[in-house]
Amino acid sequence: MSSRSGSRRGYETSDQLTGHSAAPAVPESSEIEAGGLIFYHMDLYGSKERFDIFPEELSGQGERSLGDTRRESALSSEKIQHSQEAGYDLEKEVAELAKMYGLDEDREKELELLGGHPEMVESRWPSARTEKQRGLPGETSQDEDESKARAEDNAESPMRSGEGLSSSGISDEWNSQAVSEEEESGDVFCSTCKIPIRAFDKLFGEHKDHEVTKLPNAMESEKEEIHKNMCKLEEQIAQMENFASHLEEIFITVEENFGRQEENFEVHYNDAVQVLAQKYEEQLEALGEEKRQKLEALYGQLVSCGEHLDTCKELTDRTQELYLENDKANFMKAAITMVDRLEEFLKKEVDLELSTVPDFEERVIDVSEVEQLMNSINIIPAPCAPVINPQAPSAATGTSLRVCWSLFSDDTVECYQLCYKTVSNERQHTLKVKETYCTITNLLPNTQYEFWVSALNATGISPPSERTVYVTAPSPPTINSKKIRSCENAALVCWESGDINPVDSYTVELSKLADEENGDTITESIVGIPNCEVLIHLQPTQSYHICVRALNLGGSSERSDPVLIHTTGTYFCLNEDTAHPLLAILDDGFTIHPESVPEYTTPSVFHRCIGILGSLIPFPGKHYWEVEVEEDTEYRIGVAFENTPRHGYLGTNNSSWCMRHIITPSRHKYEFLHSGMTPDIRITLPPRRIGILLDYENCRLSFFNADIAQHLYTFNSHFQHYVHPCFALETPGILRIRTGIAVPPWTALP
């Protein structure tokens, strides 16, 4: 194919991909001189209009003049007219030329790129003739030579000087780009059409004016919508399962009651069958009709309920599979249909009302004519004692119990009488129940209850069943956030039981949080905890939500209110039970109130030293915290054992290690005290932020000026027990304590 044809192909393909038609443009003479190329649309070949796009003067040698071109056009017109008079078809010749110069291939490629719309191509390309149409009678070899000459003449264009420059490269580039874009999968989502599309279609295609969004955002939005529908579906499934269970029990109750009634009629009427045959048949037929109507109504409702429940579960399974789909395009294609199906299904109202009641009408037989015979008939006997079933694992909550029982006889029963009371109390409660189960509410948590039941009919009441003990689930515990201590790899969690009665064990549930999100996904559970505290090993630099459940024979309690624990450093609280009466604990530290010292009645508080202990640090390893002080405040800070004397000063005994600051007339004096001994250490720059590093493994307690990373002093002492942080004020002032700080790298000592 000639380079001219290739140039045309590349030009038209680019126009089709951008969605614009190629309009002929007349280049200025300055542009001709600068560029050396003139581009024009190939649809003008062989037409009179093509002469209008040529400039009057063409630069360069070897170009034809406009007069020569017009003379050739006139000659071509005469030849065309002569050919038509001789019986030649001009359209046939054009088709042959198109095939000769490869224009048919261009037409096929354009048809492929336009998505199979031939009507858009036919307006731009002449139709090709078949080989048989070329052999029309009257066509001479001279005409063929003239046609070839005209085609060769038309093949020459003002583009000859630059026809091989880059036209074929442009064509190949656009064609490859079109193919790659055609094969590219959807990367945006059209909200108008509800389908994934390519970004190219939004810019130049049929979705140009539609509203679009990013495919991941659309996917997340659809997932949220599906998740909401799944939650509604799960609620409906739970509701339908409960209703189906209720229907089954009602169905069985109705069937048993009417069955026993039939047998009772049959036994009594057999003694007087000849006299009461007609009445017996009438009563049995009426009773059977009533039974059939009620059973059919209940059975139909039960079948409908089962079908609805099966549909719910099928939708849940399908939705779960769709929710796990990783391919975005496939997910979005299926998600639209699934969301519509879910919404349509959830719009249907579900009938949760019983179609009939289990009561049966007591039928009275007119036996006035056979009164003597009827007096000899035995009446319905009183039922036997029911049997209460053992407590089911999921039958209890903190305030309710579901009690079930059975009747292992063929007695006719109209209702049941359920009695219960607490094991430790004689106050009795009584309920009348139609079914063989009952849910009792407004009970005390973690409490044992005795239950017994009797059956009743028109004759009388049965003996009571044996008493069975049920127990309610415990109340949720309460986590004591002030007693929680943690470090970079562990936490000590303490809580209080919500019940007076003891429970069997506790379960701690951990939820790891990412970026402080409020998630309820349990990542770890610790079960079988016998006491109200537990030491948990955690991962460093993480945040956790921690909840506690209490367990007994009745089941598990609800979760306690969650607490947030960070493992970025050591956390501890101040123990108010050890505080001197003049100390007031604030959110950011503690201060002194100018009050008189009251009498000391508690041996755990400090008497002489105005101090306080922090909670115990029971974790091996390194622990770091900081204390912010004011320049004119006198204080003591450090660590101490639990049994450090409360009537003395911190640092004056062998159970405490302290840094002391006092102000003398000449200077700020700093002392490091243990058993009253202090080295002679001078600190030129008074620290305003003091870092304390407790290293259990290396038996060190170090003090630092945290503002300038300056090491002040280190105690080398073997700690026989875990220690408490300790703080004391010798003059009114404020100490601010900062915990949860990771150990700074500059605290490393040789």
703: domain CATH number is 2.60.120.920
Q: Is the domain of 131 the same as that of 115?
A: yes
What pLDDT is attached to residue 15?
Answer: 40
- The Cα 583–Cα 577 span in angstroms is 11
Q: Which of 36-40, 396-400, 430-434 has the lowest mean pLDDT?
A: 36-40
How many structural domains is the chain composed of?
Answer: 5
Q: Is the domain of 608 the same as that of 724?
A: yes
Domain end point (choices 341, 375, 409): 375
Q: What is the pLDDT of residues 120-161, one digit of tens each?
A: 444 444 444 344 344 444 444 445 555 554 545 544 443 343
The tokens for 577 are 């039970």
What pLDDT is attached to residue 150?
Answer: 52
What pLDDT is attached to residue 466?
Answer: 92
Q: Is the domain of 498 the same as that of 637?
A: no
What pLDDT is attached to residue 49?
Answer: 46
Residue 293 CB partners (closer than 8 Å, separation 6+):
356
Q: Helices H, strands E: what count in the chain?
A: 13, 31
CB atoms within 10 A of CB 213: 13
Q: Is the domain of 363 the same as that of 418?
A: no
Q: Is the domain of 609 the same as that of 719?
A: yes
What pLDDT is attached to residue 695?
Answer: 93
Q: Which of 76-85, 390-399, 710-719 has the lowest mean pLDDT?
A: 76-85
The three-state (H, E, C) secondary structure of 125-176, written as one string: CCCCCCCCHHHCCCCCHHHHHHHHHHHHHHHCCCCHHHCCCCHHHHHHHHHH
Domain interval for residue 340: 215-375
Find tokens 């000639």 and name the residue. 2
Output b/e per residue, 40-55; b: 16+ Cβ within 10 A: bbbbebbeeebeebbe
Mean pLDDT of 585-597: 64
Residue 199 in any domain: the answer is no
Of the pLDDT bands very low, low, confident and very high (cuts 50, 70, 90), residue 405 is: very high
What pLDDT is attached to residue 167?
Answer: 41
Share of residues in the chain with pLDDT > 70 (%): 66
201 exposed, middle or buried (CB, 10 Å; 0-12, 13-18, 19+)? middle
Residue 672 in any domain: the answer is yes
Residue 38 in any domain: the answer is yes
CATH code, domain carrying 526: 2.60.40.10
- The Cα 133–Cα 89 span in angstroms is 10
- Order of strands, sheet of 415-422, starting from the edge strand that comes earlier in the sequence: 429-433, 415-422, 448-456, 468-471
Domain end point (choices 505, 534, 566): 566
Mean pLDDT of 214-222: 82
Domain end point (choices 566, 594, 625): 566
Residue 187 in any domain: the answer is no
Q: Is the domain of 452 the same as that of 483?
A: no
Of the pLDDT bands very low, low, confident and very high (cuts 50, 70, 90), residue 166 is: very low
Q: Answer yes or no: are the C-beta atoms of 406 and 386 closer than 8 Å.
A: yes
- The Cα 80–Cα 154 span in angstroms is 14
What pLDDT is attached to residue 383?
Answer: 86
Q: Is the pTM of this model over 0.75?
A: no
What pLDDT is attached to residue 635?
Answer: 93
Q: What is the pLDDT of residues 608-618, one digit of tens each?
A: 888 999 999 99
Of the pLDDT bands very low, low, confident and very high (cuts 50, 70, 90), residue 360 is: low
Q: Is the domain of 296 the same as that of 445?
A: no
Q: Is the domain of 452 the same as that of 501?
A: no
What pLDDT is attached to residue 608?
Answer: 82
Residue 399 in any domain: the answer is yes
Residue 196 in any domain: the answer is no
Question: How far is CA 276 from its chain centroid?
Answer: 71
Residue type at 487?
Answer: C
Whether 55 shows a pLDDT value over 50: the answer reads no
Output b/e per residue, 381-416; b: 16+ Cβ within 10 A: ebbbbbebeebeeebbbbeebebbbebeeebbbbeb
Please provide the average confidence, as pLDDT, over all residues in the chain.
Answer: 75
- Helix (H, G, I), strand (E, B), or coil: what is residue 729? strand
Q: Answer yes or no: are the C-beta atoms of 6 and 103 closer than 8 Å.
A: no
- The Cα 701–Cα 712 span in angstroms is 11
Rounded (10°) angle between helices 141-155 and 90-100: 60
Q: Which residues pair with 689 in a beta bridge?
A: 628
The tokens for 416 are 């049941």
Whether 228 shows a pLDDT value over 90: the answer reads no
Q: Is the domain of 594 the same as that of 703?
A: yes
Whether 569 shows a pLDDT value over 80: the answer reads yes
Q: Is the domain of 586 the same as that of 558?
A: no
- Rounded (10°) CA dihedral 440, 445, 450, 451: 10
- The DSSP element (H or E) to which 585 belongs, if any, is strand 583-586
Taking alpha carbons only, the member of 241, 259, 431 closest to residue 352 is 241
Of the pLDDT bands very low, low, confident and very high (cuts 50, 70, 90), residue 371 is: low
Sign of CA dihedral 598, 603, 604, 606: positive
Of the pLDDT bands very low, low, confident and very high (cuts 50, 70, 90), residue 450 is: very high
Mean pLDDT of 194-219: 79
Of the pLDDT bands very low, low, confident and very high (cuts 50, 70, 90), residue 421 is: very high
CB atoms within 10 A of CB 644: 23
Taking alpha carbons only, the member of 382, 529, 395 closest to residue 464 is 382
Q: What is the pLDDT of residues 428-449, one digit of tens each?
A: 999 999 888 999 999 999 999 9
The most confident of 187-196, 646-655, 702-711, by mean pLDDT = 702-711
Q: What is the pLDDT of residues 466-517, one digit of tens each?
A: 999 999 999 999 998 888 889 988 999 999 988 888 888 999 999 888 765 5
Q: Is the domain of 716 the same as that of 620?
A: yes
Find tokens 């003479």 and name the residue. 29
- DSSP helix, strand, coil percent of the chain (3-state; round to 5): 35, 25, 40
Of the pLDDT bands very low, low, confident and very high (cuts 50, 70, 90), residue 661 is: very high
- The Cα 49–Cα 46 span in angstroms is 9
Q: Is the domain of 230 the same as that of 360?
A: yes
Residue 197 in any domain: the answer is no
Residue 424 in any domain: the answer is yes
Q: Answer yes or no: are the C-beta atoms of 669 and 663 closer than 8 Å.
A: yes
What pLDDT is attached to residue 517?
Answer: 53
